[in-house]
Amino acid sequence: MKIERDFSLRGNPVLRHALITAGSKGLGKKVSEMLLEKGCSVSINFRSDMDAVEKLKKDWGHYGEDRLHFFQGDVTKKNDMERFVTEAVNKFGRIDYLINNAGPYIFERKKLADYTEDEWYEMLEGNLSSVFHLFRHAIPIMRQQKFGRIVTYGFQGAESSPGWIYRSAFAASKVGLVSLTKTISIEEAENGITANMICPGDIVGEMKEADIAYSRGIADVQTPVGRSGTGEDIARAIMFLCDENSDMITGTVLEVTGGVDVINRYR
């Protein structure tokens, strides 16, 4: 893929543009929402939920088509990810933030030997290979800009490569992603590109799209800080990492868990 663009600032402030996978609902929705509120234009990948997208088009219609772009595609398919990047750059002319929010997860608790081959490869392709394909197409654009912020998602303790019972395939792919994120942070530092990982805690159900204020009104005895994490918690952390002045923070794994111990609950 070769895209020619003029990335010079020409003395004018740049309208930052973000790509986010699975950005139409759950944690991704709150991240997309905050990016729009901060003045960014946003390209949002979704797989199949057209109802959610149509609702967002109405709810966020005041931002206009010049700020919002939806792309239907599967993160496990490399051609879809190439088209996602190409469409975004053709529409907005740049990629400043790459937020790798999507990642398949198997909720059934099962041991590694009980996984099917399809389940194993879905975890690897969706959580690791998909990020490689996005990196490969987005980083050359960021290099031309001399600016980029990349955020991947992990899980509590991923940096230390812990065993996670019943989550073997997911954990293996995310631990690999830790190394990939750190490597990219070193390789691309000279180009003004940072790469960091966010590790959400146990954020489930309605809390994925909830605000912090709402969470504070509901006691959560399972989380040491006394409330559940929310989509807003994750979005705030990502916005900090994407800030112009956060360039000293790269290769970092940031846990946003409220002190909850996710991986040891079944031991």
Residue ranges covered by each domain of the chain: 17-256
CA neighbours closer than 13 Å in the CB half-sphere of residue 130:
30
Q: What is the CATH number of domain 17-256?
A: 3.40.50.720
What is the DSSP code (8-state) at residue 129? I
pLDDT tens profile 46-61 = 999 999 999 999 999 9
Q: Which two tokens stand for residue 246?
A: 């956060």
pLDDT tens by residue, 196-252 = 999 999 999 999 999 999 999 999 998 999 999 999 999 999 999 999 999 999 999
The model's pTM: 0.92
Q: Report the C-alpha gap between 121 and 29 in whole angstroms.
A: 26
pLDDT of residue 36: 97
For 264, phi and psi rounded to 5 degrees? -100, 5
